[in-house]
Chains A and B, each alone.
Chain A
Amino acid sequence: MNKIRTVLVVGLGLFALVLGWRWGFASQERSAAVQTSIIGELNLPGEGKFVRAEAPMVFEFPKDHGAHNDFQTEWWYYTGNLASETGRRFGYQLTFFRRAIVPPDMRTGRPSEWGVEQVYLAHFGFTDVENDQFYASEKIGRGAAGLAQAIGEPAYQVWLDDWQVVQIGDNQYEMKAKTDQVAIELELRNLKGEILQGDRGYSRKGEEAGNASYYISQTRLETRGEIRILNEQFEVSGLSWMDHEFSSSALGEDQVGWDWFALQLNNDMELMLFTLRKSDGSIDRFSSATLILPDGQTRQFTSDQFLVEVKDQWKSPKTGAVYPSAWSIRIPSVDLILDLRPLVSDQELVVSYIYWEGAVYAEGKIGEQIVSGYGYVELTGYGQSMRGRF
């Protein structure tokens, strides 16, 4: 659910980006101040004409893995922890964002395939643990003329230029992304099916009925393939996680950011947890957690049922932002205690907006069982305030 906010922030960021290209959006030198000023110029198209998530819906797969263009915002979010045969560890993040810039009722059906109604943005982050290196890059393009799109039929695929995830069989996907420095070519097998978050995939985020999103996850994707870092090539295997979420909601005003955790444990369980941080430093009551059991069953926890304690901090030399850098998570009702630390401190993405998204290691226990695992953490609102963007 935290991701709804992310989606919206990203959506706005994305739109800002579209505007920001004249400042040179690829520039790593952009300061937060400039970013904010771009946002200040935002001129959104007519509000409220998009379809809103108002009640649970029946999903059909793979069709519903494709884009839902009548909703304003949508994303496909892949993260994974991989290891080579010799045990070298790597992490990756490949995210596709979609933002509708023309509401459904204003779409004219233009003769040219190039007519823009959707804009896509993608982020590709890569972590080389042994060398303490992190690579991040970004692409943007129109969701038209076959340049970027997400389709669900006959098979699911999402792409922006040559970054793509393509369904190649039942529960099987192929993923490709490359930059000048790093490349991944992976095959993903979905081991747990579709995990519908919230109420049958309908994820409330506020009091109002329409303030919600549709939220589908694939929490355990067995992954193998090849990666390339500079000129080195590795055979790798590991686990990936996918979130697919779409909505048209707007956010409240008092959140400054959020911390999101997705952990894949060696006992075949996964934990998803997020906290929404409010301006006064407190945690929003809509923060929540989900424990996915080996059989795909889920247990939900509300914000008063868990505790996240920050154990360490890291200051970014690039942006000066101070991020939490080690955590202790407790869910007393299931006797869960996990200690988390990033595999690399600097997994900060300084692209069109600044955030930290990185691979982590977790160990601890659930009940009497000693568990460990890998996962991903997303930290937003540290590099720049999210406030004033909404």
Chain B
Amino acid sequence: MGNWSSVMSNPKRLWLPNSLLQIAVQTLLRRPWQSVLILLGVALGVAVMVSIDLANASASRAFELSTEVITGKATHQIIPSGIGIRDDVYAQLRRSGTLNLAAPIVSTYVSIPTIKGQAFQLLGIDPFVDRLFRDYWMPDSFSGQAFFELLTRPGTVMVSTTLAERSGLKVGDELVIEAAGRQQSVRIAGVLQPSDRLAARSLEGVLIADIATAQEISGKVGYLDRIDLILPSQNLAVIEKIQSRLPPDLRLETVQARQGSVRQMTEAFQLNLSALSLLALVVGLFLIYNTMTFSVVQRRDLFGAMRCLGVTRRELFFLVSGEAFIIGLIGSGLGILLGVLLGRNTVGMVSQTINDLYFTTTVQTVGIPVESLIKGGIVGVLATLGAAIPPALEAASIEPRLALSRSGLERKAESVIWLLAAGGLLLSITGYLVFQVPGNHLVFGFGGTLLVVVGLAMFSPLLMKLLLTVLRPALEKTFGFLGNMAPGNLLNSISRTAVAVSALMVAVAVTIGVSLMIDSFRFTVTQWLEQTLQSDIYISVPGFNANSSFLPIDPLVVEQLKMRDDIERLDTLRATRAISQVGEINLSATFNPQIGAERIFKEAVGSADQITLAMQEGKVIISEPLANRARLKVGDRIEFQTPKGSRPFQIAGIYYDYASSEGSVLMWQDVYRQYWEDDAITAIGLRLKYGINPDEAAAQIRAGLQTNQNLLVRANATLREDVMEVFDRTFAITSALRILATLVAVIGILSTLSLLQIEKQRETGILKALGVTGKELWRLVMLETGLMGLIAGLLAAPTGFVLAIILIEVINLRSFGWTILLSINPMAFFLAIFIALGAALTAGILPAIKMNRLSAAEAIRYE
């Protein structure tokens, strides 16, 4: 390597000379097919990554924008544990001088029947103090009259310019909105003129009303949702003083912490997506490595000659890297474009899921986050360069005097096979050990997964060699000399075929793994629903969160239902958010005497009846994700801030639950009411008398209820379908991703095979000259590709299984805290082998046609 230092000491030669750059470009142009395939591989990998990153970034941005306008300049918030902050508590806090810079907020999500699919936030503010908190007011936003109306006229709101323009609304118009299930008409008092485009976006889904109006519209008369504060962050004494003066059920939190905890919930979900999106790129890297290696091998003679002409090792290294760089650049560019196109779908899918599961965003258009594009481009180019380093080094290692035969590389490869397998074993074990790192870190989870997958992929050459050797005699018997020749060809070029097989194997294994995980998850959720949803009809207020509604049902509804004679039992539930030692969590209060039997318990104090009894005595049961997240066990206590002070509740059981990864707590309703003095109800479960059709009863109830509230009355089966719809929606993007990864792998196979066949043109010519027919040639190619596909599929099956177990036991448990029961559908394996075979055979068609077209003479003359 003496030449390296000489190059380094001669700065003029540090850069690739133009002539070499020309060589690089010409090489790419001379093999358009090859170049297109490799570009496509890079582009797809980058596109998938960019589209997911776009989706994640958009979702985060939508969250930021949605909260920005709502949080404004507030540094802290006072939040209630349970129903809300009573009006008089706020007045008292102000009058006692506890609160100085404070703004009360009543907020609720509303929908506008004429605008489908968007949530709007009705933000009730006290304009007298809000000016200091939120700067959505511009001097020209409204006339004095508008402000006067907003303040004094019931049912008046200010809307954003966007909404006004979209719906053709002007000042004085009436707009029908639906809040807490009630349709009501509001009057436009004015149109907010945001100061810039960003402000316009964050205001897009906001309706601003006086706090009195917001209370009246949302049905929260008498209560505030929170109090915003501006406090000097460094002054802990002030903060402590305020906290000490708050009633026991109120808590002072920093805005940062509050948003952080919401963020944290989505982080795991987003990280999972990012990890999966990187997979396409990883598969793409195999492809780049493979192609670049080929092009180096093909040009060994050339490189040998160039070395004789005085081209240095460094220059050769740069030549190959330069090619990779050009590919990376163009491929990434295409990938970004493609990613933005794909992003149109992914952004919608990801925000839908986040809205379903985590929080409601009112912002829809966030624009394209440029960082995602830049990130995608950089990663794409660097990854391409990285994958090209081994072939570049290979090129640089060529000795000038020796134009080694191609098989030289293969001989080397054979010795490497065992090394690789040993390395693979080492990696897999390391991966396994990484899982054992205490602390449940998700990053370690993904790191370990990557190690295991790459480790298992490194076994491919060895297993391929063994399989081919074993299969060869049988194949020869079945297919004659072609049956012998095909595995031989593969073995002779194992350094390249194995990489293609590995890439396909990884892609297919991921398909199997993810399918198994989703199937198991689906199965688990179905079973859980079976156990949990035992009523015949469910009634709730429509909300924006797919999981649970905290909106109270009109109390008259219960009275009316009690008068019906087709109902055997009526269970009520009060769901709310309460503050515990682990932060704000869902707290539900139930009256269901069979609650102990209607949950599947992971751990509990005793039988179903004993659990119910324990709850009636004041204990609670908590969901598995909460138990995992907060490391709580049966017998431990969970402490809630209640209006009557801080109260510990002993845990009587931990039940499986898949409704929220944040977790929830179930309490007996009498116990809840004793502490919270709140008799609102957010869900009703009805059990019908024997022989009554739930669908018909539901329809009857829907039609018969005398209330101005628009309620969701769903038969058991309908509710289940709705839940499963959300489930499938959640995994729609995952399915799309694994298909894309497989697509990249197919391209890899296609490109590998084309290259292999091109390389073997001479041999093909000889074969033709020896009288091998076109049909036989077809068979040969198909045998070769079929074998590659088969081996990839066979290897993918166990790898996929291992991956499924990792996804279930490590990734899901760490990300969301829930246990998924492994349910194996053998079809997944068959499907995987089928996909691998199909992909490989498809990839063989083109090379086969090409080979057949060549006449023997032409083929031999080629060289």
Contacts and interface: CB of A to CB of B under 8 A. Distances in A.
B212 interface: yes
A136 B274 CA distance: 57
A110 B212 contact: yes
A111 B221 contact: yes
A215 interface: no
B128 A140 contact: yes
Interface in A126-183: 140-142, 144-147, 159, 161-162, 164, 178
Interface stretch (A20-28, A189-197, A234-242): A20-28
Contacts of A142: 126, 128, 151
Contacts of B222: 112-113
Count class of interface residues, chain B? 35 or more
Contacts of B131: 21-22, 24-25
Among B92, B95, B126, B128: residue with most chain A CB under 10 A: B128
A108 interface: yes
A19 B152 CA distance: 13
Nearest to B148: A43
B152 A111 contact: no
Given A43-B143, A101-B148, A178 B212 contact: no
B94 A161 contact: yes
A101 B151 contact: yes
Interface in B73-100: 87-88, 90-92, 94-97
Among B88, B96, B141, B148: residue with most chain A CB under 10 A: B148
Contacts of B127: 21
Contacts of A113: 87, 212, 221-222
A113 B92 CA distance: 14
Contacts of A115: 154, 212
Contact of B210 (A111, A116, A159, A178): A116
A209 B117 CA distance: 61
Given A162-B95, A164-B95, A178-B97, A43 B144 contact: yes
A84 to B, nearest CB: 24
B212 A144 contact: yes
A115 B214 CA distance: 10
Contact of A146 (B95, B129, B139): B95
A59 interface: no
B137 A145 contact: no
Nearest to A26: B132
Given A108-B154, A110-B154, A112-B216, A42 B144 contact: yes
Contacts of B97: 161-162, 178
Nearest to B137: A22
A140 B151 CA distance: 14
B90 A141 contact: no
Contacts of B132: 26
Given A43-B145, A43-B148, A108-B154, A114 B212 contact: yes
Count class of interface residues, chain A? 35 or more
Contact of B144 (A19, A24, A146): A19
B211 interface: yes
A231 to B, nearest CB: 14
Given A43-B143, A112-B221, A161-B95, A141 B152 contact: no
A289 interface: no
Contacts of B126: 114, 142
Contacts of A338: none
A41 B143 contact: yes
A112 B221 CA distance: 5
B215 interface: yes
A131 to B, nearest CB: 25
A204 to B, nearest CB: 31
A45 interface: yes
Nearest to B145: A43
B147 interface: yes
B148 A110 contact: no
Interface in A37-64: 41-43, 45
Contacts of B152: 45, 101-102, 116-117
A161 B101 CA distance: 11
Contact of A112 (B94, B96, B141, B215): B215
Contacts of B87: 113-114, 145-146
A280 B234 CA distance: 57
Given A110-B212, A142-B128, A159-B95, A45 B148 contact: yes
Interface string B287-329: 0000000000000000000000000000000000000000000
A283 interface: no
Nearest to B140: A22
Among B94, B145, B147, B210: residue with most chain A CB under 10 A: B94
B128 A21 contact: yes
Contacts of B128: 18, 21, 119, 140-142
Contacts of A162: 94-97
B215 A114 contact: yes
Among A23, A114, A140, A178: residue with most chain B CB under 10 A: A114
A114 B144 contact: no
A18 to B, nearest CB: 7
A41 B143 CA distance: 8
B746 to A, nearest CB: 61
A111 B148 contact: no
Contacts of B95: 146-147, 159, 161-162, 164
A145 B90 contact: yes
A336 to B, nearest CB: 43
Contacts of B90: 145
A21 to B, nearest CB: 5
Contacts of A178: 97
Given A22-B137, A108-B154, A116-B210, A145 B91 contact: yes
Contacts of B88: 146
B219 to A, nearest CB: 10
Among A19, A22, A142, A159: residue with most chain B CB under 10 A: A22
Contacts of A141: 128-129
Nearest to A16: B144
Nearest to B219: A111
Contacts of A23: 139
Interface string B116-143: 0000000000111101100001110101
Contacts of A146: 87-88, 91-92, 95
A108 B138 CA distance: 30
A102 B154 CA distance: 12
A240 B147 CA distance: 38
Contacts of A101: 148, 151-152
Contact of B139 (A22, A117, A119, A161): A22
A141 to B, nearest CB: 5
A115 B152 CA distance: 7
Nearest to A161: B94
Contacts of A110: 154, 212, 216
A38 B527 CA distance: 66
A101 B150 CA distance: 12
A94 to B, nearest CB: 15
Among A19, A25, A45: residue with most chain B CB under 10 A: A19
Nearest to B139: A22
A348 B79 CA distance: 41
A142 B124 CA distance: 14
A89 to B, nearest CB: 26
B91 A147 contact: yes
Contacts of B143: 41, 43
A162 B102 CA distance: 13
B385 to A, nearest CB: 54
A116 B216 contact: no
B212 A112 contact: yes
9 contacts: A18-B148, A22-B131, A22-B137, A101-B151, A102-B152, A111-B215, A112-B213, A115-B212, A141-B128
Given A101-B152, A111-B216, A178-B97, 5 more contacts: A19-B144, A21-B131, A113-B87, A114-B87, A116-B152
Nearest 9 A/B pairs, CB to CB: A146-B91, A162-B97, A114-B212, A112-B212, A112-B215, A115-B212, A19-B144, A41-B144, A21-B131
